[in-house]
Structure 1
Amino acid sequence: MSSLKKQSSSLTEKAGISSPEITNVSAINQIKNKRRQQPTAEELISGILSGNRTSLSRAITLIESTNPEHAEKANQIIKGCLAHANKSVRVGITGVPGVGKSTFIEAFGTYLTQLGKKVAVLAVDPSSSISHGSILGDKTRMEELVKDENAFIRPSASGENLGGVARKTREAIILCEAGGFDTIIIETVGVGQSETAVHSMVDFFLLLKISGAGDELQGIKRGIMEMADAIVINKADGDNIKKANQAKLEFNRALHLFPPKKSNWQPKVTTCSAIAKEGISEIWNTISDYFEMTKESGFFQEKRHEQNQFWMMETINEQLKSNFYNQPEIISLLEQNKKAVQNDEISPFAAASELLKFYFSKDTK
C-alpha cells in the first residue's frame, strides 16, 4: 500500500534523458580553448576596419575594462583606428527620464538608415549607486533599429562617471567611425543640467522635452538650455498637440533671452511624435542646416580641435587618478587616513594633503 502511494505521488520523478556514455573530450577541449583565446589588437583592428560588428563590440568592451592589463591593448586598438576616424557627424541626445529618448532615437535612426546612412548608437544607462548595476535595456527598447543592417547599438553603463556619458564613450566614438559609421548618436542618461561631458564630444546637441509636465518652465533656466542646438518637444500627438505647440512658443521666447552662440547658430525649436514617426525629417533638415553653416564658417573644425584638447586634459586627469588609487602604499595609507578622519583625529583636508604629498614624493624618487 505504501509503495502504491509512493508511485502515485505527484512528487515522483520521471526518468529523464540520460547523458551519453561516449563523450568527445577532444571536441570539448577545442571549444573551451577557443573561448579562452582572445584576439590580438591587430586582429581586432582589422575586424573593425572591415566592418565586423563582433570585433567592434569586443574592442569597445576592452577599452571600457578597468583591468590595468587591458589598457595597453586598448591603446593599441585606438591608435590603429585613429587614422580612420573623424569621418562622421556626432549628435548628442539628452532629456529627462520618460521623455522618450529611446523611442525617438529608434525613429530617428531608422529614418537615417533609410537615407543610406550608417548609424551607430552609443546608449548610456545610469548605474545604481547601491548595487552599481545597470539594466542596459536599450537594445530591447529599440526592437526595429537593432535589426537594421546599417545600424549598431551599444549600451554602456555610466558607472560613477558624471555628465551623462560612460567613462570611455569618447574612445568608442573613434572605433565606430573606424568601423564605417558616418552618423554617431550618443544617448545620455538624462541627468538634467549637467550634460557638459556629452556636449564636449558631439557636433550637434539635441535636447528632448515634453509638454504638460511643468517641463516648459525649464526653458527660462540657463545651463543645459545654453548648450542645446535644437529643442524638440516629443509626444506631440493626440490630445497633446496643442500643449506641444504652446510649449514650442514658450521655448522660442526663452531662447531669445540667451546671448548669441559662438557658432552664430540660432537654436531651433520643433515638435515631433517619435511613436508616430512624425516630424523626424524636419529635425534632420535642421541638423543638416547646422552642419552646412558651421562647416562653411570653419566653426565645425574649430570645435573639434577644442574638443580634442579638452579630452587630452580629461585623459591626463583620469590616468593620474587611476595611478594614485592603484598604488599599494597609497591603498594602505588611505585606509589608515579614512579611520583617522572618521575618529576626528585629522581633518579631511589635512589627510588628503598628506596622501598627495606622499604620492608625489614617492613618484619623484
Structure 2
Amino acid sequence: MVLSNKKNHPSALHEKPGISPPEIISPIAVENIKKIRKVQPSSQELVGGILAGNITALSRAITLVESTNSNHLAKANEVINACLPHANKSVRIGVTGVPGVGKSTFIEAFGKYLTSLGKKVAVLAVDPSSTISHGSILGDKTRMEELVKDENAFIRPSASGETLGGVARKTRETITLCEAAGFDTIIIETVGVGQSETAVHSMVDFFLLLKISGAGDELQGIKRGIMEMADAIVINKADGDNIRKANLAKLEFNRALHLFPAKKSGWIPTTATCSAITHEGISDVWKTIEQFLELTKENNYFFEKRKEQNQYWMLETINEQLKLNFYNHPQIHQLLDSTKKAVQNDETSPFAAAKLLLEKYFKF
C-alpha cells in the first residue's frame, strides 16, 4: 500500500490570496464635501432660501440661530429681522405631558391628519439634555418615521440645554423662521418634566395637555398649575381595554377644570379622549382648536396675546443678554473664582458676594 504524501496537499485552513477591497470612502467625495462646508451662505442667501421654502436653508438658519458662538449672533439677527415681515401667519400649538404619555406618537398622528387637510406642519421637538454629559439623543425624527417622510412636514429636534420646562433657548426665533418658510401650523413639543411650562405657554396660541388614565397625577397636575394653563386636556391611549379607564379619567379632569377661574380668552377648556395608534379622536382635537381660534379672534384675545408674548420675549432676551455679558466679562471672570472660594469658606455671604460682583460689573 502506498501512503499519500501529506505535504502535497494544502491545509484545510489554507487561504487563497483574494482581491483587495476598494476604499470605502472616495477621496474625491471627501474633498467635495469639504469645499461645500467651507462655503457659508450669506444672510441674504439664507433668507431667500427660507422664503422659497427651501428646507436646507431653513435648517441651516435654525442652526445659526441656536449657535452659542458670539460671531454668529449678528448674522442670525439679520436673518430673523428679514424673515419677521413674512411671519405671524401660523397657528402655534404647544403640546406637553409627562414622559410616556405618548407625545411623539400623538404629534405624528395629529401632524399626518393636518397634512391630509393641506396644512404645512412644522414640529419643534425639544429633547431633554443630560445634566452630566450635557448631550441629547434628538431621536424625534426616528419616532415620527411616517411624518418625517411627509413633504408638507418639517421636524426639528433641539436640545433643551439648561432651560427649565424643556423649551429650547431659541425656540421663539425658530418659530419665526418656520412661519417665513410657509409653515402654517407650528407644533412645539416640550420635554414634559412638569417643572415650568410658562415658557411654552408664552409662545403658543393653543396649549394642549396630554394625559393618560390611571397615572394618579390629577392632583399633581393641579398643584403644578399646568392644568390651569391648558386650553384642552386630551386623554391619550384610549384604545383596547383602556377605553373605559380613559373615559373615567376624562370625567375626573373635567370636574377638576371647574375648580379654576374663568380664562381671559373667554374660552372654556375642554376634555377629550383619543388614540394616537388607531387615530380615533384625532380629528376632534383639531376641531376644538378651530373653535378656540374662531372665538379668540372674534373677541380680539388672539391678537392681544400675540402682542403680550412679543413684549415678554423682548424682556426675556434682555435678561438673557445681561446674564451673558456679566459672565463673559473678563474682569468678572477673574473675580468669580476667588469670590466663590470666599463664599464656600464662609468668609462672606452669598448675597454680599453677589452684590459686590454686580457693583464692580456696573463700574467697569
Query: Normalized against structure 2, the TM-score is what?
Result: 0.93
Partner residue of 1:153?
Answer: 155
Cα RMSD over matched residues?
Answer: 2.3
Aligned match of 1:232 in 201, 218, 234? Answer: 234
Give the distance between the partners of 2:346 and 2:12, measured in 1 at CA.
Answer: 70
Give the distance between the partners of 1:222 and 1:323, measured in 2 at CA.
Answer: 33
Superposed CA deviations along residues 249-278 of structure 1, whole A, max 9, x for unmatched, are 111111111110001100000000011111
Distance 1:222 1:34, change over 3 A: closer
Query: What amino acid is the match of 1:203?
Result: D
Q: Give the drift of 1:61.
A: 0.5
Partner residue of 2:309?
Answer: 307
Instruction: Spell out the pairing of 1:199-238 with structure 2 (5 A cutoff).
Output: 199-218=201-220, 220-221=222-223, 223-238=225-240
Distance 1:125 1:9, change over 3 A: farther
Query: What amino acid is the match of 1:58?
Result: R
Corresponding position: 1:16 with 2:6: no
Higher Cα Rg, which structure? 2
Distance 1:280 1:350, change over 3 A: same
Distance 1:5 1:35, change over 3 A: farther
SS at match of 2:178: helix
Q: Give the drift of 1:246.
A: 0.5
Instruction: Spell out the pairing of 1:1-365 with structure 2 (5 A cutoff).
Output: 8=13, 16-17=20-21, 29=31, 31-218=33-220, 220-221=222-223, 223-362=225-364
Distance 1:115 1:338, change over 3 A: same
SS at match of 1:221: helix
Query: What amino acid is the match of 1:289?
Result: Q
For the Cα contact (< 8 Å) 2:120–2:185, is it kept in 1?
yes
SS at match of 1:166: coil
Q: Give the drift of 1:6.
A: 11
Query: What amino acid is the match of 2:269?
Result: P
| Structure 2 unaligned regions, length at least 5 | 1-5
Q: Give the drift of 1:33.
A: 2.5
Give the distance between the partners of 1:31 and 1:279, measured in 2 at CA.
Answer: 46
Query: What amino acid is the match of 1:113?
Result: T
% identical equivalent positions: 74
Q: Give the drift of 1:355.
A: 1.1
Give the distance between the partners of 1:9 and 1:322, measured in 2 at CA.
Answer: 67
Query: Normalized against structure 1, the TM-score is what?
Result: 0.93
SS at match of 2:101: coil
Distance 1:354 1:276, change over 3 A: same
Give the distance between the partners of 1:257 and 1:75, measured in 2 at CA.
Answer: 44
For the Cα contact (< 8 Å) 2:222–2:228, is it kept in 1?
no
Give the distance between the partners of 1:96 and 1:231, measured in 2 at CA.
Answer: 13
Query: What amino acid is the match of 1:111?
Result: Y
For the Cα contact (< 8 Å) 1:219–1:251, is it kept in 2?
no
Q: Give the drift of 1:341.
A: 1.7
Query: What amino acid is the match of 1:329?
Result: Q
Query: What amino acid is the match of 1:157?
Result: A
Give the distance between the partners of 2:14 and 2:191, measured in 1 at CA.
Answer: 54
For the Cα contact (< 8 Å) 1:219–1:250, is it kept in 2?
no
For the Cα contact (< 8 Å) 1:96–1:191, is it kept in 2?
yes
Give the distance between the partners of 1:55 and 1:346, measured in 2 at CA.
Answer: 52
| Structure 1 unaligned regions, length at least 5 | none
For the Cα contact (< 8 Å) 1:219–1:254, is it kept in 2?
no
Q: Give the drift of 1:16.
A: 2.9
Q: Give the drift of 1:88.
A: 0.3
